[in-house]
Every structure is written in C-alpha cells, then in structure tokens.
Chain A
Amino acid sequence: MGHALTGMIKNLQRTKGVFFLLFILLALLMFGGSHFLGQKVPTNRKLEFWRTGMPDEFTYLASKEPEIVPIMPTPAGTVKESALSLPVLLYHGIHEQATEDLVGWNNFKSQMYALKQAGYQTVGLAEVEDFLLHNKPLPKKSFLLTFDDGRKDSYYPADPILEALDYTAAIFVITSMISEENDFYLTEAELKEMVNSGRWELGSHGDNIHRSEPISLTGDAGHVLSNKLWRLADGRLETDVEYEQRITLDLLESKRALETRFGVKVRAFAFPYGDFGQSGTNIPGKAAPAIQKAASAFFHMAFYQSWGEAIVRNYPGMDTFMVRRLEVEPEWDAAHLLAAVDGGEDKPADFSTRMENNPGWTDGWGEMNFTPGRLELTAGSDTTGASSYLDGTYLWTDFDLTLRARLVRGESFSILARVDREKNFVFCSFGPNGVSYGEQINGQTIEGTGWYTDLSLLQGLEIQAGISLKGNTVRCLLNGVWSVESTFLRHISDHGMIGVSVWGPQKGESALEVISLDVRAS
C-alpha cells in the first residue's frame, strides 16, 4: 500500500501543477485574447473610458435592438406623423470634466440618453436636406447632431454613446488640419474609420478659414472668412474679386479634400465660429452675401450657431444656408437640453396655459424668469426693456390671442405675433397713449393707428390684453373690448412666433408679469 500511497501523493502534486499551468494558460488566453481583440478599438479611447467611467449598465450598450422603450411615450398616432420642424444640436469637444466652453462627458452621456428616452432619433444630412428643401417627411421626433472642427475629443468620447443609442452625427472638419498624426485633430485614418462605422458623416468647416488674420493697416485681426485681409506686401486690403476668389477656393478645396480622400458626398458646410458675416467685419453688408454665394456654389446647406435666438428649430422652406444650431452649453444638464429641444416642438394654435410649467418661453431681450404661475420679464441693467417668445409657435398663422398680464414697472408692453428672426413682426402695444398696433420690418418700427385711452391708471393691475390676426388684418384687445380691424401697413410673413415685450424710458426700469395665455385658431 505504501507504494500506492506515495504514487497517489506524487500524482496529486503533479496534477496540481498541471492544473495550475492550464489555469495560467487559460487566464492568458482570456485576458490576452480580450486585450488583443480589444485592440480593434483604438487605445486612447479605452484610456479615455478608464478615466471617465462608462455607462451604468453595460448591457445597455449591447441592447441596440430592440429599441429602448421611451420613458415618456408619445401619444399613439402622433408618432407616425412627420416632424414639422427639426432641431440641430452642436457640440465641440467632450471632456472628462466640463470646461468653460466644453461639455463634460457624463453630462453629454446623460443628455444623449435623455433624448433617446424621450423618443428622439438622429437623422442624416441627406434626410435633413430633403426635409428642409423638399419638405420630405421626417420622423416626428428627429434631430441632427453635429460636432465642429473635426477634433479627437469629439469622436472618442461620443462614438461609443452613439453606437449604444443607435445615433449618428455629422462632424464638420477643418480639412487643412487632416494629417497622418495629430494630437488634437482627427487624422485621415481616424476619419476613415468614422465614415466606415456608418455613424459619422463629414461636412466642411472650410479648408483653412478657421482662423483670424490682420484685416487692417494697424494689424487688427479678424475672421478670415468674413473679412478682407490686409495685404501687407501691397499695403492694401484685398479687392472684392480677390476676397471672393479666396473664400470660394477655400470652400472648394475643403469639399474636394473630403470627397477625394473619403469617397463621400459633401453637402453641408458649417460657418467657422458661426460667423456668416453678421458680426464685426471690414466689409459690412458685403461679407454675408459673398459668403452665401460661395457656400451655395458647393454645398446644399450651411449651419450657424443660434446663440440666444428665440427659436430653436428649423422649418422646411427656410433658407438652407442659414440652418440654426443650438450650441449646447457646458452648464446645461440633460433636463435643460431636453426642455429646450421639447420646447421647440410645434404647438397647435389652440393653446392655453396657466403657466404651470414652461411650455417653451425663450429668452429674448432683457431678462426672463419663469416661475410656476407666471412669466416675468424684467429689463436688464443696460436694457430699456425685455422680451420673450414662445418657441414652437413659428407655424401659427391666424388666431385670437388673449392673455392676462400685469405691468409692474415701465411704460408699455406689447404682444408680438408672426415673429420671424426677431426682426420682423406685428404687434399690439399697450401703454400710456392707449392701445396701438404696429409692425417691425427688418428691425424698423412702423407705428400703426392707435386707440387712445389713458392706460397709466391700469399700471400695476392685472389686465386682459390680446391680439387677433386674420390674413393681413390685425385687431387688438383690451379688457374685453376689441379694436376695429386694421390692415397691415406692409405685408409680412403669414406665420411666425408669438412673444411679449415690455418697455420703459429708463434702463432697468420695466417689468411685466404674464399670468395666463389663451389662443384660439381662427
């Protein structure tokens, strides 16, 4: 038995050794294999993940099908309808922690998840073009996601989230920055990988116009797309022809570079800095049309940033070289973004609110403050008044609108309608000289006839005011009495947003509270 015993113990020891070796081999195979296969994902993305933390539930990432059930399902029947309007979102880089102008990764993640759960789906540039130019239907809750500059910190943090949520995005690339090796901008190989993934579309952000250069003798720097450059050698500014030629060739080159390198069709352009000639330029009034002309020669759409614009969304039939994008600010959380996107959803013109929650009042001029129960407009310290617009009313045409409001301070307030880009609208004004209607055309006010009663007595009291529009006629309402019908002084758009504003002669000295709003389509 002794022999058998030592045999057993020896055998056992050896088997332990074999088991241990096999175990190590298996461990190497598992971890090494995982690592090797994991290499298909670029390393820095994985590093980024280690640092930033991944979504809560990994299975979430795997479960691309079936679709994630919306938390707030849209009422049955409405889903199939086409969208009336399209929000476009803009991000630049996504960073681990939010910076002054970059959104934080966790925030971006929750914003995308929130949109997904609210039922929003991304659309591609071709679909956007068909929608805006040809009014081809889009799913009701669509949006376009865009990134500017072609940066690594857009792609690596966002891509896994897009993959998980089945989203796509367009990235506007500065083509002169595409190279073999770069720490900040995406390289050619990376862009190819993005295009191949099917999740990313490329657009132009110009070839070499995302910068500033001297635009005067004194060497003031200006955006090179919207300014004539100072030709130091010649001691003069570029001529019209030189300027137009320069920007045209740049846009052509950017399109050519993308199309030849990546074999894609480039249909969209994003203005560098969102500057389409509207801001400081040494050729005021000339830059915008020149840029428009150059862009329209090569592209079908051009995008800008609608900082602070009252309206978020884009509508079919609008100028496709002025597609507005909502640039997401680092301090916005998911709820804020979702409210901004939802707020722009088109409302039926039969609409009532007791101001329980904000149906989409957006900040215009001065300061706006929404508290449940009322909308407050207050002149800022350097403005004489304030205004706010109700997003999602751009398509409203004919209606009777009444509201209850209180002029807390200041001289007068107005109800605005058919607002287009805040420069064109028709209004009823309620002030010390009574009720009057008027129009604003391209920023110029044209006073219409008035209905003179002294309203200064009503200051501080809650009053009923209203406006009624039918075709090109307008009526104003005060405390149950409608004015006679007047015809527009000049014919402006047959639709547009509604809004309210308050005004006083002194800066910071006007305030208005709006308590309720009732609109009936007519």
Chain B
Amino acid sequence: MESSIITKPRPAPRRGTLDWRPYWNWIENALYRSVLLFLALVTLLVIIYLKSRSSIALVGDPLLFVYTVGITMFQLSRLMSAILYRRTNHLYLAAAPAPGDAGAYEPMVSFVIPCKDEEAAIGKTVTKCFEAHYPKDKLEVIVINDGSTDRTIDILRDLQKRYDRLAVVDWKENRGKRHGMAEGIRMAKGEIIVQLDSDSFISPETFRNLIQPFQNPEIGAICAHADPANAETNWLTRMQAAYYFVSFRVLKAAESTFMTVFCCSGCSSAYRREIILPILDRWLAEKFLGLPVTWGEDRALTNWVLRRNYRTIYSEQVHAHTICPDTFKKFLKQQIRWKKGWLVNSLFASKFIIRREPFVAFTYFFPLFVISLITPFIAVKSLILGPILRGALPLYYIYGVFLMSFVMTLYYRWISRENKYWPFVFVWSAINMVFLSFVLFYSVATIQNRKWGTR
C-alpha cells in the first residue's frame, strides 16, 4: 500500500510456481477500495437526503438550516482538502536520501526538550534522539529540567555520561514550558530546532524526513505525524489513537495542503531556528486579557512562523510517538488546555491570517472559528433544551454527527488499512458530541486560570 506509514516487507515469491499473490493483492486492494468508494457515495446520498428532509423542516429556522448545511459542507471540504494533501506536499514528502549520500541535505539539528518530573520517560526520549538515522556530529540534544522534584536530574546526569552532545539546563524552580523552550532554542547551535515533549520520540528511521523539507527556504516549520505509544492501555487511549490519526492524517494534512498548518504540535515538530530566534522575546511575552498565556505555546510559535511569511507543513513520513492521557480526568484537562490554546491563538492568528493567506482564511480559518463557537450552543439546544422542553429527540443532530464520522472513517480506512483503531472514531464522536460544548464553555469561563494543569 503506497499510503501506509508502516510498510511490511513482502515475502519473497516461491520459485518454480507462478506466484499469484501480487495479483491477488492488487485485486483484493482494488475490491477493498471500491467498497469504500461505494459506501462513501451511499453515505453522501444519505447525507443529502437528510439535508433535504431538514430543508423542509427547517424553513422556519433558516439560520439553523444554514448551520446544518454549513457544518456538513465544512467537514466535507476538510476531507477534500486532506485528499489533495499529497498533491501539494509530495515534493517534500519524498523519502530522504540515506546518510552520507552525495548531496544529502544535512544541516545541524538541535533537539529541545523541556521537562518536569519525567523520571520514567526522559531516558527513552533522549536515547531515541541520539538513535536518529542522521550524522551523529550534526545532532545535539538540550533538555531543560524545569524544576523537577523527582529524580529526573539524576537520570539526565547519567545520560550525559553516555552522550557528550547532551546539554542539560537545570532549573530549581518551575518557570513554565514556554521559558524552557525559549532557553533551549537560545542555546541551540542547530539550524533546525526539533521540539519534543518529554515523553515523545521520533522513529529514528523516519527522522531524516523531518529535516528534508527545510531544503525549501519557504518552509518554516514541520509537524510530524504522532500516534499515542500507549494506545493499548484502555478504551480511552484507543479512542485517542483514533482521534490522533484523524486529527493528524486528516485535519492537519488538510491544513498542510495549503501549506498553512496552524499548530505544529508540541509533541514533535521542527522549526527553522533563524525564524523563531528573533521573535522569542515577543512569544514569551504574549498576553491575553492582561495575563501571560500558559497553554498553546506550540500554536503560538507556529503562529509566529506563519506571521513571518513562512509556510508550515505536516509530514506523514515522520513518525512520532507520544503518550496520551489514560484517565478521563487527565484527558479532560488536556482537552480544556488545548481548547483554551486554540481559542486564544485563533484570536491572535485572526489578526494576520487574512493578509497572509486569504484563501485559507476564508475557506478554513474563519469558518472553523465561527462553527466552533456556534456548535456548543446548537448542541445544548438540540441535546438538552429540545428533549427537556419539547420531548424532542435530537435525531437529525445525532444522525448528522454519526454520518460525518462514518465518512471520516471511510477515508481513514482508505489511507490506512493497518490502523485498527478506526471503530473508536465513533466513540470519539459520541464523547465529543456530549462533552464538546461543556469543554468550550468551561474553557471560556476559566480562561483567566493560567495554571498549566497538565498531566
């Protein structure tokens, strides 16, 4: 499968007999895709039928009708955009030449890893950095120990004995992730900064694909494809595995099609140092409603790259692993933090995005912003007020949500037959439908609470 991220080695054909396997594989694959296409067409028709039903029912409420059609169009347009992803990104996604090849692009790279109380994970994170398939003399790792109270610093000191290109900044007091990152970036000697979460790592064999696209001077930041490494823990992590896949391979890819990814996620992204170095102070000093912003630092940094007229892309060819929350409470906290980060940074981005990329602003950015703000109200109206006040079941609402999830799942299955978490897309949709509204309301209500409140 051309599109799979992990490709299995094909067994060698047996000698002497005509091997039908490749043909059979081809036929099987063609059949599989035809079924997906057929299902997608049927679903599209069902969606259109539902819209036609609601177009009759909603005539007295034209705004609601515009909303339901608008949100469907928007979601399908994201899918379309994702389908076009390789069209614009293929130049950068080509596998990088092996190390040492003549003419290989091998700039100096610095990993910057802020961490706090990560004694369990930091060893693996650092080790994996040095395992990258890349010239060792062109790698350095900078870990900022941001006031850990556990044994993190001891482990780091141990690691330093093994890796002389590991620099450790040891802060006794916690200053926050942004400050840690800034410190690391300032210290870095690399042309490219790879920013990693303390529990994330990049598959060493795909590492070069993260650096490769920087050959193009217009590219300012690249976001790796991340999957939860702890997906098998419980249903919540499985659900997040599905959610990560959709949000990276579909939603981020869709942003990447127009080379305007709004969030090069904090768990594993690479930046061109010369772009972010001059704005570090301003990035650190960002305030919202008079208080420093303590979440969404990754979004904020990506914003700066975009604001400085560089392009940002997502690469499905770089495979990163991270740890996702395994309890519902942690999960909710993370969602709230992300929601706040999205809200504040979207407001920041709205100031420059029209000038920077009007096409993206009007086809994606502003529609998303409006829809994200309206949806919680519609959800409350349909899921709570309707049933209570009128005994009305929100059937259209639920049908709509699940049909869109179904379309998403079909695309998911199209891109990756191996990823087995796809049924959890529906679980995610259900959870999202029920909690999304509250998360946004809660986030807005507590926007002045600037505690980091992470894991």
A residues near B (Cβ < 8 Å) are 1, 4-5, 7-8, 11-12, 15-16, 18-19, 22-23, 26-27, 29-31, 33-38, 41, 46, 49-50, 52-63, 66, 68-69, 160
Contact = CB atoms under 8 A, between A and B. Distances in A.
Pick from A38, A57, A63 the residue with the most CB of B within 10 Å. Answer: A57
B309 to A, nearest CB: 13
A59 B397 CA distance: 8
Contact of A49 (B59, B73, B392): B59
B395 A63 contact: yes
B48 A30 contact: yes
A4 B216 contact: yes
Nearest to A45: B56
A71 to B, nearest CB: 8
B310 to A, nearest CB: 13
Nearest to A29: B48
B258 A61 contact: no
B411 to A, nearest CB: 14
B52 interface: yes
Interface string B53-68: 1111111110010000
B390 interface: yes
Contacts of B87: 11, 15, 18
Contacts of A8: 88, 91, 216, 218, 259
Given A7-B91, A69-B391, A55 B84 contact: no
Contacts of A38: 52, 55-56
B393 A41 contact: no
B57 A54 contact: yes
A26 B76 contact: yes
B56 A41 contact: yes
Interface string B24-57: 0000000000000000000011011101111111
Contacts of A7: 91
Interface of B: 44-45, 47-49, 51-61, 64, 69, 72-73, 76-77, 80-81, 84, 87-88, 91, 215-218, 257-259, 359, 363, 382, 386, 390-397
A19 B363 contact: yes
Contact of B382 (A41, A49, A59, A69): A59
Contact of B61 (A4, A26, A58, A68): A58
Contacts of B47: 30
Contacts of B390: 56-57, 60, 68
> Closest 5 A-B residue pairs measured CB to CB?
A54-B60, A33-B48, A37-B52, A53-B60, A63-B393
B383 to A, nearest CB: 10
Contacts of A30: 47-48, 51, 69, 72-73
Pick from A5, A30, A38, A46 the residue with the most CB of B within 10 Å. Answer: A30
A62 B51 CA distance: 12
A31 B65 CA distance: 11
B73 A12 contact: no
B395 A1 contact: no
Contacts of A160: 56
Contacts of A33: 45, 48-49, 51-52
14 contacts: A1-B217, A12-B258, A15-B88, A29-B48, A33-B52, A35-B52, A37-B48, A54-B57, A54-B58, A57-B386, A59-B393, A60-B390, A62-B395, A69-B391
Contacts of A26: 73, 76-77, 80
Contacts of B81: 19
Pick from A27, A37, A56 the residue with the most CB of B within 10 Å. Answer: A37
A37 B56 CA distance: 10
Given A15-B84, A15-B258, A59 B395 contact: yes
Contact of B216 (A5, A53, A61, A69): A5
Given A4-B91, A4-B216, A26-B80, 19 more contacts: A5-B217, A7-B91, A8-B216, A11-B87, A12-B88, A19-B77, A19-B258, A23-B73, A23-B77, A23-B80, A26-B77, A38-B56, A54-B57, A54-B58, A54-B59, A54-B61, A59-B382, A59-B393, A59-B397
Given A29-B44, A34-B51, A68-B391, A59 B386 contact: yes
A56 B53 CA distance: 16
B76 A58 contact: no
Contacts of B84: 15, 18-19
Contacts, number: 132
A482 B168 CA distance: 109
B215 A1 contact: yes
A66 B395 CA distance: 11
A60 B60 contact: no
B48 A49 contact: no
Nearest to A49: B59
A370 B49 CA distance: 52
A49 B62 CA distance: 11
A34 B60 CA distance: 17
Contacts of B60: 49, 52-56
A387 B242 CA distance: 75
A160 B391 CA distance: 18
A6 to B, nearest CB: 11
B64 A1 contact: no
Contact of B55 (A34, A62, A68): A34
Nearest to B254: A19
A33 B59 CA distance: 16
Given A15-B257, A15-B258, A23-B363, A59 B392 contact: yes
Contacts of B359: 16
A66 B69 CA distance: 26
Contact of B57 (A15, A50, A61, A69): A61
A320 to B, nearest CB: 36
Contacts of B58: 54, 58
Contacts of A37: 48-49, 52-53
A112 to B, nearest CB: 13
Contacts of A46: 56, 59
A466 B322 CA distance: 88
B59 A62 contact: no
Nearest to A47: B59
A175 B219 CA distance: 77
A46 B55 CA distance: 9
A62 B53 CA distance: 9
Contacts of B55: 34-35, 38
Pick from B53, B59, B73, B397 the residue with the most CB of A within 10 Å. Answer: B59
Nearest to B58: A58
Contacts of A41: 56
A38 B217 CA distance: 52
B69 A31 contact: yes
A68 B390 CA distance: 8
Nearest to B216: A4
A38 B73 CA distance: 18
